[in-house]
Every structure is written in C-alpha cells, then in structure tokens.
Amino acid sequence: MQLIFDTLTGNTRRFAHKVADLTGVEVVALADADPRAPYLLLTYTFGSGAVPESTAAFLGQHSHWLRGVVSSGSYHWGESFGRAGDVISAQYRVPYVARVNKSGNAEDVRRVADWLQTHAANAAD
C-alpha cells in the first residue's frame, strides 16, 4: 500500500506524512506517482465541494489500484466540507476513510492508520 497525495497549500502533504510517521507506509506526491499496486488517495476539496482537476485527471488514468480516499477540507464549507471524498468514494466505489479539517488532528491520523492496518490484514487473508 502507498499513500498518494495531492495538495495546493500543503495540508494534505503534512497529513500524509503524519500517517506515514505512524505506520511506515510509503508517501508519494501525485505528480510523481505511477501506481502498480493498491494505494490510498489523499486529496483536498476545492471549488464548491469539487475534486481538484489534478486529482480528477490522475484518477482518470490510475483508478485501478485505488482502495480508499481521504479528503482534506475546511469546516467553514459546512455541507460541502470535504465533499471531494464523497464524490470520489461514490464514483469509484471505495471507502471514504477520513474527512479531515486542514492538516488533521491526532484522531484523524489514528483513524487512517487503523484503516491501513485492517486493510493490510484483509489483503493478506
């Protein structure tokens, strides 16, 4: 499993690294990624509840190994908070692992780490 992140202002990158620090899972920037194995996508929400164009273009090519999604956002958007994750989750039928405010807190990191662990265990079955 890899963590592949997209970011504009750095929050998603910082969150991905916090998860990696706890789990040891490899982190790759979306621009450098060419996944050949399962990965968790970490992105952010833009526009009004939209998936960033860079993320959408990436998924257009690399959705095969997508196993789950995390979206950063900001709580100010209310109903649209982190909606990019809902959109991706519905479109590609993968779990929305965590909706994260900005660069996330310790609980968010733990939730994603737990999911990675469960996923790895299931994959080994």
Residues that bind other proteins (CB under 8 A): 8-11, 14, 48-49, 74-80, 101-103, 105-107
| Residue 82 contact among ligand FMN, other proteins, none, beta carbon within 5 to 8 Å by kind | ligand FMN
CB 7 within 8 A of CB 36: no
Residue 69 pairs in a beta bridge with 41, 96
H or E stretch covering 11? helix 11-23
The angle formed by the CA atoms of residues 96, 92 and 18, to the nearest 5 degrees, is 40
55: contact with ligand FMN by CB under 6 A: no
**Among other proteins, ligand FMN, none, partner that 24 touches (CB below 5 to 8 angstroms by kind):** none
Among 23, 54, 63, 80, binds ligand FMN (CB under 6 A): 80
77 binds ligand FMN (CB under 6 A): yes
For residue 44, state whether it binds ligand FMN (rule: CB under 6 A): yes
Output the DSSP codes for 80-102: GTTHHHHHHHHHHT--EEEEEET
Q: Is 72 in the site for ligand FMN (CB under 6 A)?
A: yes
